[in-house]
Amino acid sequence: MEKPAAEARIQALRNDINRHNHLYYVLDAPQITDAEYDLLMRELLELENRFPELVTPDSPTQRVGAKPLEKFAQVTHRIPMLSLENALTDQDIADFDGRVKRELGMALSAEITYVCEPKMDGVAVELVFENGDFTVGSTRGDGFTGEEITQNLRTIRSIPLRLHTEAPPRLLEIRGEVYLPLDAFRKLNLERQEAGEAQFANPRNAAAGSLRQLDPRITARRPLSIFCYGPGEVAGAGFTSQSEFLATLPQWGLPVNPRAEKVNGVAGILAYYEGIGKDRDSLPYEIDGVVVKVDSLHLQRELGVKSRSPKWAIAWKFPPRQAVTVVEDIITQVGRTGVLTPTALLRPVEVSGVTVSRATLHNWDEMERKDIRIGDTVLIERAGDVIPAVVKVLPEKRTGAERPLPVPSTCPECGSEIVRIPEEVAVRCLGLSCPAQIRETIIHFASRRAMDIEGLGIKYIEQLLRLGLVKNVADLYYLVKDQFMLFERMGDKLAENLLNAIESSKKRELARFIYALGIRHVGEHTAKLLAGSFGSIEHLERATEEELLSVREIGPQVATSIRTFFDNEQNLEVIRRLFAAGVSPSVEEKRVGGRFTGKTFVFTGALTRFTREEAKKLVEGEGGHAAGSVSRKTDFVVAGEEAGSKLEKARELGVKVLTEEEFLEMLK
């Protein structure tokens, strides 16, 4: 493609991607699938890689790519971001309405038009657009000075990098609330729990922590969103009311809360508050009240501000989602990856209209930090999750009969020994036969990159478990056709295909078999290292921690995890049954005398000519080694687009850096 044609196609792709971002994030009306969106983005990336001179700061590909910061710079707000006065009762709202009328010299019988908006429980930020381009983003800070977090805010797809208008204002300052949707919050906490990391207390903490990352790539992995709610300084555009302002922003690509509503007088405010309160638990995000604003911007200016808050707005908070109850017992639940979680069984209590009888205690470190014991009187809170959490113990209520729950020594589901990996807060069961984990264990074992049992998807695995036909991965190799015929919509041919797929998986490479076992911290790359170093499961099973540590790239955490897995007698029994069924992993022969023999490669950045997996296979096929990190032993670093810290380290160490084209030349 010639440059003029590429330039036209690039612009068309950017317009298309921006339009779909607007449809998805602002209007909640997507018109294409995620896969179709990814294809558009991939084509744009490829064209921009071929014509780097055509890359512009507002391209959708430029949301992530800035280097990590050493610290945040300070930003002074042109107009202070003031806090709001709080209302707690109907009378507080009536008093606020009365004060507004008196300040304006209006009769108390007059009716003022207000705008009511859900009070988001997120992080207040300011976005600055100059001539339509997003130039600066900052936190609220103390209201007068905040921290610049422009690069982090650029990663939020609901924020346009350029306003969707042909005639943008010269200056537009927008105040908004960044939040983490509840589904994303739960998923993030589950991932952190499985990784043995501390969980976020609530979505607001998660959003705040995400925005304060010095590396924007971390922020980009958190699905943050934003609702815009108010103007700062504006030049080149005029608005007469808050409702007009909110109606205009979506036309420019900026999302506003669809539940914002114009109402009349105190009666309208009360009706809105009651309605949004009823819907609170069904909303996909956390709110903690209602913000009430005088609609007319002229009246807002006339009313002015007090020392720290505007006279024309007030926040009507919801009642606290807290209650006091008693911990009647503490039980241990086993998650799908083997993490044990202590859960408090509570004396039933009503919290914001819901009867609560359970609360998560997260982990034993957290339980010990708060000193939570069976029999304790505690304060619980419903915020950001289905299962409430214990906020604190009320020690003055103790009688002396309370008792702590120690960390169990065995799994309550399968009886396997419990392990605690150093430097992790999680307590785990590593049993391959653990009923609480078996579904995910089998899904992983049968997956394409593991044993690749073609056709054995989730729906069939769930039927196997429901019918009680498998209790661990070894049972798969003892299934017969009649058992598959018990499935819904199963025919002879399909049953035979499944049996053939199971049979053909018996000869998979040793590396894939090791990966399929699901050993903690052993991914595909580490499995290849282990297969190449030990040559068989028997040798790996008997390897000491010292022998494991002698393998290149194997550290203490991984070595301990491997040794713990093979010290579990139930795991060894499953492996023995696999071998008895005919599973016989093969060792892949390494090419001797290949062009890359003795050479170590590291791949970094966005690769466009091949995938990371394909690149590794090319290196290993020529007798070389593909590593995951750069060291003095690295011979070559192949750098794609947006290469970061690995490229910098290669330059520091004097390691030769190759482009993708130069790497392919070496293979010719």
Task: Give the span between the Cα atoms of 462 and 64, in whole angstroms.
Answer: 39
Q: What are the beta bridge partners of residue 262?
A: 115
Task: Give the span between the Cα atoms of 359 and 382, in whole angstroms.
Answer: 9
CA 319 to each of CA 88, 89, 381, 390: distance values in angstroms, whole numbers, following the listed order: 8, 9, 12, 18
**Which one is catalytic: 67, 119, 311, 397?**
119
Residue-by-residue DSSP string for 37-70: HHHHHHHHHHHHHH-GGG--TTSGGGSS-PPPPS
Instruction: Please name the helix (run of DSSP H) or strand (run of DSSP E) that holds residue 441, with its range, or none.
Output: helix 438-446
Instruction: Please name the helix (run of DSSP H) or strand (run of DSSP E) that holds residue 492, with its range, or none.
Output: helix 492-504
Contact 250, 27 (CB under 8 A): yes
Structure tokens at 358: 């359970």
CA 230 to each of CA 171, 260, 586: distance values in angstroms, whole numbers, following the listed order: 14, 12, 64
Contacts of 157 (CB under 8 A, 6+ apart): 21, 24, 25, 63
Residues for the chain: how many in total? 668
Residue type, 637: V
Contact 316, 271 (CB under 8 A): no
Q: What angle do CA 351, 91, 381 make, to 5 degrees?
A: 15
Instruction: Please name the helix (run of DSSP H) or strand (run of DSSP E) that holds residue 301, with its range, or none.
Output: helix 297-303
Task: Give the span between the Cα atoms of 461 and 455, in whole angstroms.
Answer: 10
Q: What are the beta bridge partners of residue 625?
A: 600
SS3 393: strand
Task: Give the span between the Cα atoms of 371 and 317, in whole angstroms.
Answer: 31
Contact 227, 177 (CB under 8 A): yes
668 is catalytic: no
Q: What angle do CA 319, 321, 324 make, to 5 degrees?
A: 110
Residue type, 15: N
As a 3-state breakdown, the chain gives helix, strand, coil percent values, each rounded to 5, of: 40, 20, 40
Q: How buried is 5 (Cβ within 10 angstroms: 0-12 exposed, 13-18 middle, 19+ buried)?
A: exposed
Which residues are annotated as catalytic? 119
